[in-house]
Every structure is written in structure tokens, then in C-alpha cells.
């Protein structure tokens, strides 16, 4: 168990280059199982969730060769289709092995996936899609999937699940015939996975839309791919810099369509930046005020499926709002437990009223006081770091390893921007 000790009220300023997108990296690691040839991934984030996924791959028999942020994976000699239960409990992304393993084995054994406790996270959509492709599912304490062959079909997802879309697309790449997926997720990391699969020889149409067609091929080949930058990490650092009155240049943000989505949410809080080629430039000491709605209606920031504001940025946006002039309602539509961390902010002096599990009203600005905190999940943990960076005095955040699951070298990178943060093991 490790913890962060933070002494706040220092403006964060400088330059940052986000690492590879965590939510793209995890399905890409699973995708190496689709071929016997080597798959090379560059810009791989060195975070705990990635380490666990690599351990799971090695247990399956995948040859893993890693040097810094580049990994070469070769699944030519798989020895089992049974995933290690203990490691599955440590990472949500373990469910992403289901589709790829089914393309290599007729029987696959999965343990229930772990991950953040932010509300009910269904896996029904995964199994529904794989069942439509020809898999039989037996779910009791664990999950056993069997199949004779995978055959393309029309699939209507009951929710636009990112990981379910990724699982089904991966299985469909080598299924017999054509698969169409209605109500598919179209987040940038889904698009990034599809681009890797295309390099591997997959035939996919509709990338970036909610209607994806996959024409099955007999065999996929190896490929080399650079994982796109993590826009959630970029948004987190922007929130930290803005909340502390600092300036920030975020480099390498070239992925099409990401900036307008992220910027729109921040502009509701009076925070804006300019774009110079592939760099987002946030100026210091902005006059931050909630952008008011017409006719004195209460302003609202809500999340949703892409291109709505991402759920993974709601926690940091709430902390940012405590330092902004005005009142705003946050509506978390995706997960019913994501908002529970606001109790810690209220203890620090934030002006927050929790209306129900999905909605909180934030009234700012309010001075925050240092406190003893515990990170409940990745994104709430990052939000508590930002709150501590704003607060007067010293804060201690326990369970720091939870934050390490999604942010690479977070304490070192924050210190490079001027934060007074120390990790204690």
C-alpha cells in the first residue's frame, strides 16, 4: 500500500505529453491473440492495468518482449485458454480476452473481471454478441464459452458498450461471413483498435460510427501500431492546471475530433485553450465562471456515449468546478457509484449538494482545506489529487496504487509541473 502526501496551493505550469490511451491499449493487447505473427505496440502506457494484462498474456503462452513503451507480442504458441482468476479480478480489461480466445480455441474459461467499483458494469452485452456469433455461454461462478465455429450475423447491442463492441469486433474479424453491429460504441479508443485490426488484415467498415460492418477473413497477420495519446490523461492535467491557476501545453494531441468534445465540457466551466498544430495551450489565471444558460436555467454538464463528454472526466471536472464562479449541475448517466467520492470534497470545504447517485450540484468558488483521503477508483483518485493540489495545507491520499492503474508516474509528472507531491511506500 502506498500513499501520496501533497502540499497544495501551488500553480501547475509547464509542458506535458500524454502517454498512450489506456482504454485503447488494453483491447490492443488482447488483439495479439488473433494472429500467430508478432504484433508490435508503441506508446504503450506503463500503468498497473497494462502490467496485469501482460501477465495474463504470458500465462496464456504469449511471448512478451518489452522495452520501455514498446512491446512485441507473439501468440504463436498458446498453451491454454484458461485465464488466471486472481489476475482477472485485478483488471476490468480481462473480459477483452473472450472474443480473441474464441477465435483460437473451441473452449474458453474466464474468471469474473475486476476493475473500479463505480456501479454495475454489465458483461451481458459481451456474451450476447458472442452468442450471436455462435458461442455457447455457461455462467455460474465463472464463465465458460464454447463454439464449433464463429459465423457472422446482424447484432443489435442493447447498450453502446465500448468493451463489448471491441470484443465482438475482434471475434468477427475471422468469423465466417459478414457481421453488422448496430448501436456500436464509437469512442476514439474503439476507432484506434479498429485501425490496428485493419493493419492486421481485417476488413472493417464504418469505423467511427455506431454502425460497424466486419467482413470475416481466414487469417490475420502481424502489424505495428502506435497507440493514440490518452485524452483522459490530457483532460486530467488540464483540470489540475486550471484549478491551480497555472498554464499548460499539452503536446501530441493529433487525434481527430477529440479536442471539440473535451473542450466543450471545459468551456461550460469557463476554461478554454487554443490549439496550435498538435498542441493544446491553456493560458494561466483564467477568469473561470460557469457559462450560464438562457432564462436563468441551471447550467448542466452531463456525460454519455461518444461524442458526449466522457464519464472518465466527470470526477476531475467536479473538482475543477469547486474553483469556478457559479453553480452547475453534474449529471453522471453512466455509473451510479461514480459520484460517491464527493463526500471527501465536502469534508474539504467544497460547496456540493449530492442530489442522488447520479447528480451533484456544485457551487463555487470555495477554498479547500487539506485532509486525509482515500482513493476509491482511478478517476476519483485523480480528482482527489487535484483537490489536494488546490487545498490549503497538507493532504494525504491513501490507496495510491489505485491511481497507478490508470496514470503513468503521476507523482513524477506532477512534480515536473511544480506540484509538491511525495509518494510514500
Domain boundary among 226, 261, 279: 226
How far apart are the C-alpha atoms of 57 and 68, rounded to whole Å? 18
CB neighbourhood size of 16 (10 A): 23
Are 216 and 271 in the same domain? Answer: no
Domains identified in the chain, total number = 2
Domain boundary among 177, 204, 226: 226
Which pLDDT score is estimated for 116?
47
Are 158 and 81 in the same domain? Answer: yes
Are 258 and 377 in the same domain? Answer: yes
- Could you tell me which residues are beta bridge partners of residue 395? 6
Are 327 and 316 in the same domain? Answer: yes
Q: Are 118 and 341 in contact (CB under 8 A)?
A: no
Are 182 and 310 in the same domain? Answer: no
Active site residue 116: yes
Which pLDDT score is estimated for 142?
77
How far apart are the C-alpha atoms of 127 and 143, rounded to whole Å? 10
Are 217 and 237 in the same domain? Answer: no
Which pLDDT score is estimated for 119?
43
Domain boundary among 183, 198, 226: 226
* Phi, psi values for residue 180, rounded to 5°: -115, 135
Which pLDDT score is estimated for 121?
56
Q: Taking the mean position of all CA atoms in its chain, how far away is CA 195?
A: 18
Pairing of strands 178-182, 203-205: unpaired
Q: What is the CATH number of the domain that holds 119?
A: 3.65.10.10
Are 242 and 214 in the same domain? Answer: no
Q: What is the pLDDT along the chain (425 residues), one digit of tens a residue?
A: 899 999 999 999 999 999 999 999 999 999 999 999 999 999 999 999 999 999 999 999 999 999 999 999 999 999 999 999 889 888 888 999 999 999 999 999 988 876 544 444 578 899 999 999 999 998 876 789 999 999 999 999 999 999 999 999 999 999 999 999 999 999 999 999 999 999 999 999 999 999 999 999 999 999 999 999 999 999 999 999 999 999 999 999 988 889 999 999 999 999 999 999 999 999 998 999 999 988 888 899 999 999 999 999 999 999 999 999 999 999 998 877 789 999 999 999 999 999 999 999 999 999 999 999 999 999 999 999 999 999 999 999 999 999 999 999 999 999 999 999 999 99
Indicate the pTM of the whole model: 0.94
Are 351 and 317 in the same domain? Answer: yes
Which pLDDT score is estimated for 117?
44
**Domain of residue 167, residue span:** 22-226
Annotated catalytic residue within 15, 49, 84, 116: 116
Are 237 and 138 in the same domain? Answer: no
Residue partners of 45: CB distance under 8 A and separation at least 6? 19, 20, 21, 22, 25, 69, 227, 230, 408
Give, for 107, the enclosing helix (H) or strand (E): strand 107-110
Are 292 and 271 in the same domain? Answer: yes
Q: Running DSSP on this structure, what letter comes out for residue 283?
A: P
Are 14 and 31 in the same domain? Answer: no
Are 322 and 413 in the same domain? Answer: yes
Amino acid at each position: 500500500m502506498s500513499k501520496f502526501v501533497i502540499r497544495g496551493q501551488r500553480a501547475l505550469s509547464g509542458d506535458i505529453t500524454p502517454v498512450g490511451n489506456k482504454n485503447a491499449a488494453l483491447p490492443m493487447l488482447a488483439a495479439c491473440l488473433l494472429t500467430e505473427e508478432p504484433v508490435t505496440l508503441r506508446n504503450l502506457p506503463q500503468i498497473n492495468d497494462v502490467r496485469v494484462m501482460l501477465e495474463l498474456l504470458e500465462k496464456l503462452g504469449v511471448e512478451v518482449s518489452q522495452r520501455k513503451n514498446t512491446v512485441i507480442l507473439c501468440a504463436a504458441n498458446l498453451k491454454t485458454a484458461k485465464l488466471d482468476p486472481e489476475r482477472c479480478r485485478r483488471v476490468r480489461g480481462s473480459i477483452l480476452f473472450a472474443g480473441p480466445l474464441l477465435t483460437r480455441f473451441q473452449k474458453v474459461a474466464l474468471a469474473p473481471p475486476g476493475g473500479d467499483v463505480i456501479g454495475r458494469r454489465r458483461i451481458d452485452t459481451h456474451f450476447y454478441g458472442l452468442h450471436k456469433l455462435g458461442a455457447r455461454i455457461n455462467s455460474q461462478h465463472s464463465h465458460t464459452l464454447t463454439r464449433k465455429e464463429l459465423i457472422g450475423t446482424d447484432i443489435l447491442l442493447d447498450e453502446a458498450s465500448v468493451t463489448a463492441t471491441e470484443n465482438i469486433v475482434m471475434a468477427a474479424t475471422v468469423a465466417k461471413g459478414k457481421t453488422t453491429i448496430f448501436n456500436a460504441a464509437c469512442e476514439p479508443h474503439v476507432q484506434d483498435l479498429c485501425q490496428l485490426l485493419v493493419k492486421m488484415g481485417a476488413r472493417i467498415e464504418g469505423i467511427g460510427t455506431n454502425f460497424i460492418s466486419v467482413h470475416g477473413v481466414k487469417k490475420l497477420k502481424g502489424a505495428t501500431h502506435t497507440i493514440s495519446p490518452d485524452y483522459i490523461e490530457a483532460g486530467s492535467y488540464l483540470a489540475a492546471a486550471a484549478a491551480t491557476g497555472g498554464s499548460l501545453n499539452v503536446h501530441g494531441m493529433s487525434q481527430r475530433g477529440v479536442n471539440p468534445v473535451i473542450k466543450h465540457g471545459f468551456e461550460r466551466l469557463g476554461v478554454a485553450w487554443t490549439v496550435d498544430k498538435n498542441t493544446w495551450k491553456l493560458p494561466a489565471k483564467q477568469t473561470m465562471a460557469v457559462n450560464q444558460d438562457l432564462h436563468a436555467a441551471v447550467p448542466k454538464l452531463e456525460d454519455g456515449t461518444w461524442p458526449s463528454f466522457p464519464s472518465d472526466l466527470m470526477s476531475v471536472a467536479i473538482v475543477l468546478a469547486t474553483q469556478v464562479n457559479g453553480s452547475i449541475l453534474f449529471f453522471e448517466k453512466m455509473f451510479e457509484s461514480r459520484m460517491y467520492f464527493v463526500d471527501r470534497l465536502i469534508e474539504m470545504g467544497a460547496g456540493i449538494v449530492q442530489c442522488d447517485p447520479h447528480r451533484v450540484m456544485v457551487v463555487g468558488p470555495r477554498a479547500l482545506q487539506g485532509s486525509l483521503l482515500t482513493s476509491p477508483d482511478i478517476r476519483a483518485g485523480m480528482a482527489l489529487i487535484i483537490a489536494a493540489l488546490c487545498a490549503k495545507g497538507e493532504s494525504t491520499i491513501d490507496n495510491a496504487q489505485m491511481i497507478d492503474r490508470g496514470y503513468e508516474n503521476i507523482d513524477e509528472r506532477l512534480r515536473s509541473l511544480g506540484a509538491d507531491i511525495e509518494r510514500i511506500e
